[in-house]
Amino acid sequence: MTKKIVIVVVVVLALALLLLQGKQHKPNVKIGVLHSLTGDMAVSEAPLVDVVRMAVEEANQSGGLNGAKIELVVADCRSDAEYCAQQAEKLISQDGVKVLFGCWASSCRKAVKTVVEKHHHLLFYPVQYEGLEQSPDIIYTGAAPSQQLIPMVSWALQHAGKRAYLIGSDYIYPRSANQIVKKQLLAQGGQLLGERYVPIGEQDMDGIAREIAALHPDFVLNTINGSSNRYFFEALRKAGVRSKDIPVFSTSIAEAELEKIGPELLLGDYAAWNYFQSVDSDENRAFIKRFRQRFGHSRVLDDPMEASYIGVKLWLKAARRAATLDMSAINTVLRMQTLAAPEGMVAVDAGTGHLWKSVRIARVRADGQFDIVWQSERSIAPAPFPFFIPQAEHASLVGGGR
């Protein structure tokens, strides 16, 4: 009897050891991150890598993905859309990543979209954009026009005045966004005084600033991306343009950009996002605390960072529920997900792959944070194709450029 017990115990221990070894040797699940760590877009994009890393570390601390450790593979897009597409191809074909998180500029997203759709892979895109697009292989965690651009212009027309001036970088997003804005101005009794575009990285803004000072619009809509924003606001102040007289409403300046530019240049100007670090909620306070414990107490958070973070959370939630790494199965489950995010409750819209999100408009404070002056009473449905633009015009509204 004793001998039989010993044999049983030995067999049980051997099986347990085998199971433990199997768990220990479960291959890592690789995920790809595509953001610019160098070049003109690095100031905006580099912080997004940190929040993706934090989300992955939190997941690994709680058991990883179905028992497997998640491994981050980061590629520097170098602020170059075509190079970013090449890196997406490498991450998918050579590195074997199971999902991609990344891109900022619409030119970059569109270049990577071609690669993702070719492989029927999955990309999470975390930045507000011009809309006029949806893809079965992309989850858009940033704002569609109905969730940032259109409400901001409506608010500006109501509170600042009817006379608008448009300034943007010379590529897809600003040109397409301004096509939508011009339709909206026409529909809401606005007047367009000027429309100018500059290359990404442009430093000479004095002529545009003088034109704004001379025309004296009621407000300026700014869709400049990247490092040129600093030179634009410096030129405005040199030309005597102040926020109290001609407020600037920006679509691509958040807390991270304010920190680099210096809030004193933008004091009193406005931005519209779904998330601000100043959102007053327990979920957001916990998010800020975790991020600062990991990356430093002086670090700030902003909307694209939060949208990147919740993208990882949504993917993890769907992959765990699907209990598989099959992208088709995960994509199906994804389109039924909700999440209590730092910005508030979000939900994936099954039809468009965009999120239902709250909208907020806020004014720049001296400390580099934002005072929220307006927010939607509920989550707003994503409308990547604005209802007031006929379908026949959609293709013509997708601007050219980089």
Q: Find, among 280, 92, 348, 80, the residue nearest to 200 by Cα.
A: 80
CA distance 136 to 364: 37
**Tokens 């995010």 appear where?**
341
pLDDT of residue 4: 61
CA distance 62 to 320: 12
Q: Find, among 156, 165, 132, 163, the residue nearest to 146 by Cα.
A: 132
CA distance 130 to 399: 10
Check: pTM over 0.85? Answer yes or no: yes
Task: Estimate to the nearest angstrom the gap between the alpha carbon of 159 and the chain centroid.
Answer: 27
Q: Strands, E, within 135-213: which ranges?
A: 138-140, 163-169, 191-198
CA distance 151 to 68: 43
Q: Which two tokens stand for residue 25?
A: 């040797």
pLDDT of residue 19: 53
| Distance linking the first and last C-alpha atoms of the chain | 80
Rama region for 78: left / alpha / beta (φ>0; ψ in -120 to 50; rest): left
Give the pLDDT of the chain (402 residues) as one tens digit per residue: 566 664 544 445 555 555 555 445 689 999 999 999 999 889 889 999 999 999 999 999 999 998 999 999 999 999 999 999 999 999 999 999 999 999 999 999 999 999 999 999 999 999 999 999 999 999 999 999 999 999 999 999 999 999 999 999 999 999 999 999 999 999 999 999 999 999 989 999 999 999 999 999 999 999 999 889 999 999 999 999 999 999 999 999 999 999 999 999 999 999 999 999 999 999 999 999 999 999 999 999 999 999 999 999 999 999 999 999 999 999 999 999 999 999 999 999 999 999 999 999 999 999 999 999 999 999 999 999 986 665 555 555 555 444
Q: What backbone phi and psi angles, to 5 degrees, belong to 61?
A: -70, -25
**Which DSSP state fits 345?**
E
pLDDT of residue 288: 98
Strand order in the sheet with 138-140: 70-76, 29-35, 100-102, 123-125, 138-140
CA distance 101 to 51: 11
Q: What is the dihedral of CA 160, 161, 167, 172, to 10 degrees?
A: 100
Q: What backbone phi and psi angles, to 5 degrees, belong to 322?
A: -75, -25
CA distance 249 to 272: 8
Residue type, 61: Q
pLDDT of residue 11: 47
100 neighbors 123 (Cβ within 8 angstroms): yes
Domains of the chain: 29-144+280-356 (3.40.50.2300), 146-275+360-397 (3.40.50.2300)
CA distance 269 to 160: 11
Count, in order, helices (H) and strands (E) of the chain.
13, 15
pLDDT of residue 402: 43
Write down how long the chain is: 402
pLDDT of residue 336: 93
pLDDT of residue 401: 42
Alpha helices in 94-171 (DSSP H): 106-119, 149-159
pLDDT of residue 17: 52
